């Protein structure tokens, strides 16, 4: 028997309880720098050392944190369902928890790529510095989608969302890209579950929408248990 298809869209709120900081202070700055300076092609061209250090700090922190109960529950969901995760997050916590179908819209912290050949991608766990090159001598850069760059996986994410029999949205606003655009690819009348401690929508905004006003680590395990109890 075919397992029901569940598509999960996840954002920063998914990983917050694992202790991953956003790196922005209350003014939206990182060590006094606008995020555009450290997360854009222009910033990298202007000051590559600064950009590399920003991602080195984030990579070091990622290696010290672990998946939370929400990540683990989504991995367990695969025992009874066909689960695909589309994430805006650049961490590897879904994979670390055991999820096997994870699409990263905005790239991955633990990968780097050639500045010349974007298809030349390498696994990378240490600091990345100027002078780290591919086999042809071209500088390596973080494998991250920066501001102003295309999101190459968006079309694939839309195709995955079109298959959803159940859609779960957690840790991201449904009013901003990309969740806002992806939600419209879900088939008509697909049940949607929105998990967020401070939901910014009403259940009347979408047909078949259930709002769970809890964090990912609280709400997802409860929802997963509910699915296992209610599906044959």
Catalytic residues: 106
- Find all residues with CB under 8 Å of 17, minimum gap 6, and list them: 68, 69, 70, 215, 216, 217
* Backbone dihedral angles phi then psi of residue 125, each to the nearest 5 degrees: -115, -10
Radius of gyration of the chain (CA): 18
d(CA 73, CA 222): 9
**Cβ neighbours around 184 below 10 Å, total:** 9
Q: Which residue has the tokens 């766990």?
A: 125
Q: For strand 29-30 and strand 33-34, is the pairing parallel, antiparallel, or unpaired?
A: antiparallel
Cβ atoms of residues 220 and 195 within 8 Å = yes
């Amino acid at each position: 028997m075919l397992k029901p298809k569940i598509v999960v869209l996840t954002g920063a709120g998914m990983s917050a309880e694992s202790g991953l900081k956003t790196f922005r202070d209350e003014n939206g700055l990182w060590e006094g720098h606008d995020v555009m300076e450290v997360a854009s092609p222009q910033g990298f061209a202007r000051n590559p050392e600064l950009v590399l250090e920003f991602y080195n700090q984030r990579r070091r922190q990622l290696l010290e944190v672990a998946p939370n109960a929400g990540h683990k529950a989504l991995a367990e969901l695969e025992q009874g369902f066909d689960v695909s995760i589309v994430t805006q997050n650049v961490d590897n916590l879904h994979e670390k928890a055991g999820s096997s179908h994870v699409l990263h819209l905005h790239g991955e912290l633990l990968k780097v790529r050639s500045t010349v050949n974007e298809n030349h991608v390498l696994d990378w766990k240490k600091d990345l510095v100027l002078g780290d090159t591919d086999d042809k001598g071209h500088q390596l850069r973080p494998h991250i989608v920066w501001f102003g760059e295309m999101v190459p996986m968006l079309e694939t994410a839309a195709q995955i969302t079109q298959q959803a029999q159940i859609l779960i949205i957690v840790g991201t606003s449904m009013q901003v890209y990309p969740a806002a655009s992806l939600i419209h690819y879900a088939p008509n009348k697909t049940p949607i579950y929105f998990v967020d401690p401070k939901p910014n929508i009403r259940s009347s905004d979408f047909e078949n929408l259930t709002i769970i006003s809890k964090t990912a680590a609280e709400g997802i395990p409860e929802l997963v248990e509910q699915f296992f109890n209610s599906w044959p």
